[in-house]
Amino acid sequence: MTNLIIAFRNLFQAKRRTLLLGSAIAFVSLLLLLLLSISKGVSNRLIEASTLTSTGHVNIAGFYKQRANSATPLITNREEIRALVRANVPDLALVTDRARGWGRLIGPGGSFNTGLNGVILEEADFLNEVKLAEQSEYKKDGEERVTGNIANFGQPNSILIFAAQAKKLGVDVGDTLTFITEANGGQANSVDLTVVAVARDMGFLSNFSVFVPRQTVLDLDRRGPDTTGAVWIYLKDISRANEVRKQMEGVLQNAGFTILEHDPRPFFFKFQKIVSQDWRGLRLDLTTWDDEVSFINWIVTSLNALSIFLVAILGFIIATGIANSMWMSVRERTKEIGTLRAIGMQKNQVRSLFMTEASLLGLFGAVAGSLIGVIVTVLVNWAEIPITNSGLRVFLMTESINLVLQPVHILTALIFLPMLTAVAALYPSIKASQMPPVQALNQGK
């Protein structure tokens, strides 16, 4: 306690030094929090976008091989699999399935290859979560109002596309698009689809998906009603996804299905491997949501790596500053150290005094940085600052800057920075504690 009071007093006496170092530490703390909140924002957005557009929390998909050198990403016995999920997953939030197609979407202004998601309207909760784009977002001189109506989705041959897609295809709500694909057997098939709604972009993932009623995909592919692309399981607790995947593998195996060895990649990366395998019939492939988006996890990984790199550099600079400042403090306060030692203060107490001083400085800086961080986060999210650069929008998977600051981030800053400053002050503290009292008193004269 005495140490704490002396350390506090010392910091108070060296106001200018405390203010300068404290500000630097607060800046590092703020930067750390902002980087963590950007990374968390992107990570949350990735989960949100992926589980809306391309994957359930757990997916039961698979491949059907009619002959050795072919593979179709589809499963049969859809109803049976869905029933097994309902009977065996206790914390099930929703079970649905998506018919999958792949082909070329052609509009008056352009065309691109895209995945076709066949949605069961009654089970498509995501439609309530999809935000529709204002006309001005995808049409030159368009109005600043939403022209589509999500309620029209589900009409035969209706299609929901994203704003960037509408821009590329040169279409608006009510226009017709042509989708060309290879039906079962490899023959060309096509359908004319009416755009009923244009949704706001969801970054990278929304580039490769459009939504149509399930029946449209079945008709295009000439497939039966008991087939589908993948059965999607949504859980009340997403963190249980891997556990449920393993559990369902056992359940399906017991029900007589053959399961492929777990390969944590999206289904489209597995084609070549499956095509080269020598078996026929149906094999199921179970994945979790993060397996299906593993190919874009690099975004979160690189953001984290960048955060660590920046904080490490700034941390090093701060640590050097602290060490230097403490060393100067030791030299300036040699007489004080000698006096303290002469009146009976032990070596470890002297060491502890300087380290406490540095830790306190780190803590004050971290607290100040955290407070500013919270204010900045609230203000940035409130302002909904739009991201104007399209590449950055795709990278961050959001239209506006979205920061997610969690208590654990603040706790990290409050623990990490005092520890860093304490470590930085270790060498000067040891030097101070090892100073003989007589010599210290003489030097201080």
- Residues of this chain that bind other proteins (CB under 8 A): 69-70, 106, 110-111, 178, 180, 182-183, 185-192, 222, 271-272, 275
Q: Are strands 92-107 and 188-199 parallel, antiparallel or unpaired?
A: unpaired
Q: Which is nearer to other proteins, 70 or 381 (CB)?
A: 70
Give the Cα separation of 380 and 377 in Å (integer).
Answer: 5
CB of 19 to other proteins, least distance (A): 57
Please tell me the distance from the alpha carbon of residue 161 to that of residue 377, in angstroms, as a whole number: 31
104/347 with CB nearer other proteins? 104
CA separation for the pair 227, 78 (Å, rounded): 6
Q: From the CB of 410, what's the least distance to other proteins, in Å? A: 46
CB 265 within 8 A of CB 294: yes
277, 250 Cβ separation under 8 angstroms: no
Shortest distance (Å) from residue 176 CB to other proteins: 12
Task: Kindly state the smallest distance separating residue 362's Cβ from other proteins, in Å.
Answer: 50
Rounded Cα distance between 434 and 349, Å, is 11
Could you give the CA distance from residue 23 to residue 14 in angstroms, rounded to a whole number? Answer: 14
Nearer to other proteins, 9 or 273 (CB): 273
Question: Which of 131, 130, 126, 173 has its CA nearest to residue 152?
Answer: 173
**Coil, strand or helix at 119:** strand
- Give 110 or 225: the residue with its C-beta nearer to other proteins: 110
109 versus 250: smaller Cβ distance to other proteins = 109
Residue 67 CB, shortest distance to other proteins, in Å, is 9
Q: Which is nearer to other proteins, 102 or 327 (CB)?
A: 102
Q: Which amino acid is at 140?
A: K
Closer CB to other proteins, 190 or 207, in the complex: 190
Chain-centroid distance, C-alpha 143: 32
Taking the C-alpha atoms of residue 178 and residue 176, their distance in angstroms, rounded to an integer, is 7
- Give whichever of 27 and 271 is closer to other proteins, judged by the CB atom: 271
Give me the least distance between CB of 189 and other proteins, in Å please.
Answer: 4
CB of 70 to other proteins, least distance (A): 8
End-to-end CA distance of the chain: 29
Give 191 or 410: the residue with its C-beta nearer to other proteins: 191
d(CA 14, CA 116): 67
Q: How far is the CB of 275 from other proteins (least distance, A)?
A: 6
Q: What six digits make up the tokens of 143?
A: 């109005």
Q: Which residue has the tokens 């249980």?
A: 240
**CB contact at 8 A, 130 and 117:** no
**Which residues, other chains included, contact 413 with Cβ-Cβ below 8 Å and sequence gap of 6+?**
29, 32, 33, 366, 369, 370, 373
How many Å apart are CA 378 and CA 387, to the nearest integer? 17
Minimum CB distance to other proteins, residue 158 (Å) = 16
Residue 220 or 286 having the CB closest to other proteins: 220
